[in-house]
Structure 1
Amino acid sequence: MAIYESDHTKFMREWMAKHPEELEEQKKGRALWWDRPQTLETQRQYDEGKVPNKAYPYSTES
C-alpha cells in the first residue's frame, strides 16, 4: 500500500533537492521564530498565568 504524499510536499522535496542552499535559510527562519531561549523567570510567569480548564469545555454555563 502506497503512502499518500500531497502535491505540495512533492513540490517542496523537489525544490529543496534543486536548491540545497535554501536549507540554511530555512534553519535561520526557524531560529528566528521558534527556537528562542527561555529563562526560568519567563517560565514562572507562564505558569502563574495559566487558567484551569473547565470540566466540559463546550458548556455555555460559567
Structure 2
Amino acid sequence: MYHYQSEATRFLNDYIEKHPQEAQQRLKNRALLWDVELNPEEQAGYEAAKLPKKPYAYQPD
C-alpha cells in the first residue's frame, strides 16, 4: 500500500496533534463557510434569474 504524505500534510497533522484546540476551531470555521443551510426562496430566485445559455458562446447574435 502507498503511504506517502507530503511535507505540508505531515506539518499540518503534527500541528493539529500539538494544538488540539485548533482542530475544534477548524471545525467551527468550516461550519461558517461550508455547512450552511440554503434558503430555498433565495435559491429559487437565483434559478429564476439565470439566463439561458447559447448553444455556441462565440457565435455573434
User: TM-score if structure 2 supplies the norm length?
Assistant: 0.67
Between Structure 1 and Structure 2, the one with more helix by share is: 2
**Which residue of 1 is the match for residue 23 of structure 2?**
23
> 1:11 aligns to what?
11
Determine the C-alpha separation between the residues in 2 that align with 1:54 and 1:6.
43
Which residue does 1:61 correspond to in 2? 59
How many residue pairs align between the two structures? Answer: 60
Q: Which segments of 5 or more consecutive residues in structure 2 lack a partner in the other structure?
A: none
Give, as a single letter, the amino acid of the residue that structure 2 aligns with 1:11.
Answer: F
Change over 3 Å in CA distance of 1:9–1:45 after alignment to 2: same
- TM normalised by structure 1 equals 0.66
> Percent same amino acid among aligned pairs?
37
**Counterparts of 2:55 and 2:5, CA distance in 1:** 38
Runs of 4+ in 1 over 6 A off after TM superposition: none
CA RMSD of the aligned region, Å?
2.3
Counterpart Cα distance in 2 of 1:4 and 1:51: 46
Which letter does structure 1 place at the counterpart of 2:20?
Answer: P
Greater displacement, 43-52 / 15-24: 43-52
